[in-house]
Structure 1
């Protein structure tokens, strides 16, 4: 029997990278998984790739009406046991060059999107549910031209601190999963010289893989972490620790 047998999981940003790898693993471990993505074809392809008990719901986490539609669909299952607010984006822009559009784009998805993904799930969250947010090593490491992204992920860390206290009476655990540089399509879209410079600072000497982050997400989602809440778990090859 899988570690998530009979559980209902929602994963935002589940069509590629970390979200897709986690959705696959959760499904393999027995969960019924709902994934979201902005592009319908990519969402359909991900559902086929995951296989098993998976449902895809098209939507953008920065659009509250899309979140309402997501949870109307999930409501058919009656509850949510695991909520992985994973959808996010990152772009490089220096302090001098960053525009209002750059700032709003990142904060609307990474901060506003994560906050309302959780808030709107509250009526469906089961007693003892697990909330997982995707943070980043960038929240604790200074990186040139990446400060807006880093600040958005620092906000994620503080959300979890507050929710750990606020939701304790419902025994809902909230944790942050903070990857370092991971080989994902989103990272591949960034300037390669910037990524190479960041990767050179990783003590383990390599980039991480999405499935390595997915295994950590499984730990936080399952009963293996039953006495773990309010933490930030770094999956970063040691980058945040030195």
Structure 2
């Protein structure tokens, strides 16, 4: 009997990286998974990797119609024992080059999206369920080119702390995962040469002297989603090899 035997877990942004690694492990531990994504190729690959009983949906966290459709789909699929809001994206730019369009796009995906998803899906959460939201070590790194991205992920930390208080009356926990340099899709939003330089710079600051794997990040996420973390709420869990201290 695994930790997720008979449980239903929804992972947004679950078609690659730590989201997909988490979904595969939940299935191995007896659970049922629903995942969302945008990339058709990754959606197709996930369908091949996960059981036919899994719910795999194309859904944009920044699109209100997609959020409403997700709510309807989950209502038909079954109530949730876990919700991992992992969807989002990153980009880099100097403070002087940030535009209103770029600001709105990233805020919509990384902040508005999970906020509205939680609002829409709250009624589907069972008593004792766990909510997890993915933030980033960028919040604490102070990197010159990540001010907008770091701001969105800092907002995530703040809203989850409030969720922990609001949802506690229903026995629902809410926590934040704070991944650092993770190999899968690591800084994929950067140009190739800039990405290599940035990865080397960041990894050299990690006490463990390496990037983490998707499976290592998923392992911590699944601890927080499981009953093993039944007395953990309103917390931030770093998976960063010791990169940041807060």
Both proteins in one fold, TM over 0.5: yes
The alpha-carbon deviation at position 232 of structure 1 amounts to 0.2
Q: Which moved more, 1:197-206 or 1:2-11?
A: 197-206
Q: What is the alpha-carbon distance in structure 1 between the residues aligned to residue 201 and residue 90 of structure 2?
A: 16
The alpha-carbon deviation at position 110 of structure 1 amounts to 0.7
Pairing 1:74–2:74 present: yes
Q: What is the alpha-carbon distance in structure 2 between the residues aligned to residue 140 and residue 187 of structure 1?
A: 16
Please list, as runs of the form range in 1=range in 2, the aligned pairs for 1:1-242 lying within 5 A after superposition.
1-51=1-51, 53-185=53-185, 187-190=187-190, 191-192=194-195, 193-241=197-245
The alpha-carbon deviation at position 176 of structure 1 amounts to 0.1
Q: What is the alpha-carbon distance in structure 2 between the residues aligned to residue 40 and residue 118 of structure 1?
A: 24
Q: What is the alpha-carbon distance in structure 1 between the residues aligned to residue 35 and residue 208 of structure 2?
A: 31
CA gap 1:2/1:10 in 2 versus in 1, 3 angstroms: same
Q: What is the alpha-carbon distance in structure 2 between the residues aligned to residue 96 and residue 81 of structure 1?
A: 43
Instruction: After the TM superposition, list the runs of 4 or more consecutive aligned residues in structure 1 that deviate by more than 4 angstroms.
Output: none
Q: Secondary structure at the match of 1:36?
A: strand
**TM-score relative to the length of structure 1:** 0.96
CA gap 1:157/1:163 in 2 versus in 1, 3 angstroms: same
Contact 1:203–1:238, Cα closer than 8 Å, also in 2: yes
Contact 2:8–2:78, Cα closer than 8 Å, also in 1: no
The alpha-carbon deviation at position 68 of structure 1 amounts to 1.3
Deviations 1:124-149 (A, max 9, x none): 11111100000111112201110111
Structure 2 residues without counterparts, runs of 5 or longer: none
Q: Secondary structure at the match of 1:131?
A: strand
The alpha-carbon deviation at position 42 of structure 1 amounts to 2.1
Q: What is the alpha-carbon distance in structure 2 between the residues aligned to residue 90 and residue 195 of structure 1?
A: 15
Contact 2:90–2:189, Cα closer than 8 Å, also in 1: no
The alpha-carbon deviation at position 52 of structure 1 amounts to 5.8
Q: What is the alpha-carbon distance in structure 2 between the residues aligned to residue 179 and residue 53 of structure 1?
A: 29
